[in-house]
Structure 1
Amino acid sequence: MNHHHDTAAEQDVLAALRAATATRHERLDNGLPLAGAQPGLEDYASHLRLVRDWLTPLQAWLAGYADGPAAFLPPRERLALIAADLDEPGMPAPVAPQPAARWPDGASAAYRWGVCYVIEGAQLGGSVLHKRLSERLAPHPLRYLRGDVEGPGPRWRAFMQSLRGAVRTPEEVAEACAGARAAFDSILQLGLRPAS
């Protein structure tokens, strides 16, 4: 039952998510610890701690649901990769996690699709950073930035396909945008590099 208007709606959800988060995305990209001209291991450690403090409560919250994105996306051991990277020789001393944000109980599947759009999208950014930094920060393995052996592309494509199938009505698209904005806001609130 694939009417013509479905295709328009499917394209809309990604366009809507991109538009809803564009300014936050830019602020995040420019403010990340690795955004400086010559990032070092100290910056990578700050980046990992930021992502850890952001992802820890998010993953615990998302784990409480079996529907929506949870039904489509195999879990990823991102926090284990972050912990392993922070344990590498030459990394700065551990810093305790920041107090965790609270995520809404009973959030709609569409809202959670929006949150996962930001989490999954972060992996795409990670692979770009990996290319840029792997020589510079060698011999650190940069496990978190490297991610999957096959790169983030296949998972991202599967994610987009599932998202388009799941988030279709204008109400669902609006919910997804709210979730995506909340996910960006929560990492922005954890504090970024001051704009130089």
Structure 2
Amino acid sequence: MTMLREATGGAHEAVDAAFGAHDLATPAAYRRFLLAHGRAVPAAERVMAALPFARTLPTRAALLASDLTAMGVASPDPLPFAPGDDEATLWGVLYVVEGSRLGGVLLARQVAPELPGRYLGAIHASGQWRAIRAALDEAAAGKDDDWTARMIAGALATFTLYAAAAGAS
């Protein structure tokens, strides 16, 4: 997993900067933040669901839709997302989607208490991130450079999806 973090660090920082520009304490900015996530998360979760391990994890698209409804807006259409459906690519997608859940914990602290917070409040269960990291490492163990490159490409494609969603808000 260290390799994945190092290979995607620049893309991760760009997405963090794009979403970090929102002042989540204000309703208008928080609404834009949720709409941007609404363009990415359902598409990424749908792709990731082809991976059996991913189906053991709770999804957040419905929570996001609920928060958008509570903010008085409909869920946007997800952006097109078709990074590939091979196992390596799907593990890369999972890495980004589940990693974003960790970032959500920090962002949730910025949300005003009167605003809906189901989506950002959907944290990993105790030990779940550790299990995800172990599953990622196990999936990549002993694989060749091509497999690793496809996993990295899946992660980068997912960061690109999130960046495009942030830019569309």
Aligned with residue 152 of structure 2, among 177, 180, 194: 177
- 1:152-177 C-alpha deviation (Å, 9 max, x unpaired): 55221111001111112233222111
Hey, what does 1:85 align to over in structure 2? 67
Gaps of 5+ in 1: 1-13
Q: How many Å separate the matches in 2 of 1:23 and 1:102?
A: 20
Gaps of 5+ in 2: none
- Check the 8 A contact 2:45/2:61 in 1, yes or no: no
In the comparison of the two structures, how many residue pairs are matched? 167
Hey, what does 1:59 align to over in structure 2? 45
Q: How many Å separate the matches in 2 of 1:102 and 1:188?
A: 12
Residue correspondence of structure 1 range 27-176 to structure 2 within 5 A: 27-32=14-19, 34-36=20-22, 39-63=25-49, 65=50, 69-71=51-53, 73-88=55-70, 91=71, 93-94=72-73, 97-98=76-77, 100-104=79-83, 107-131=85-109, 133-134=110-111, 137-148=112-123, 151=124, 154-168=127-141, 169=143, 170-176=145-151
Residue correspondence of structure 1 range 8-27 to structure 2 within 5 A: 14-27=1-14
**Structural RMSD (CA):** 2.4
- Check the 8 A contact 1:85/1:144 in 2, yes or no: yes
Matching residue's letter, 1:46: R
Matching residue's letter, 1:162: A
Q: Tell me how far 1:120 sits from its aligned partner.
A: 0.2
- Check the 8 A contact 1:72/1:162 in 2, yes or no: no
Q: Tell me how far 1:96 sits from its aligned partner.
A: 5.7
Q: 1:77 to 1:104 in 2, by over 3 A?
A: closer
- Check the 8 A contact 2:89/2:151 in 1, yes or no: yes
Matching residue's letter, 2:11: R
Q: How many Å separate the matches in 2 of 1:59 and 1:160?
A: 18
Normalising by structure 2, we get a TM-score of 0.85
Q: Tell me how far 1:40 sits from its aligned partner.
A: 1.2
Runs of 4+, deviation exceeding 6 Å:
none
Between the two proteins, what is the percent identity of the paired residues?
29
Matching residue's letter, 1:103: A
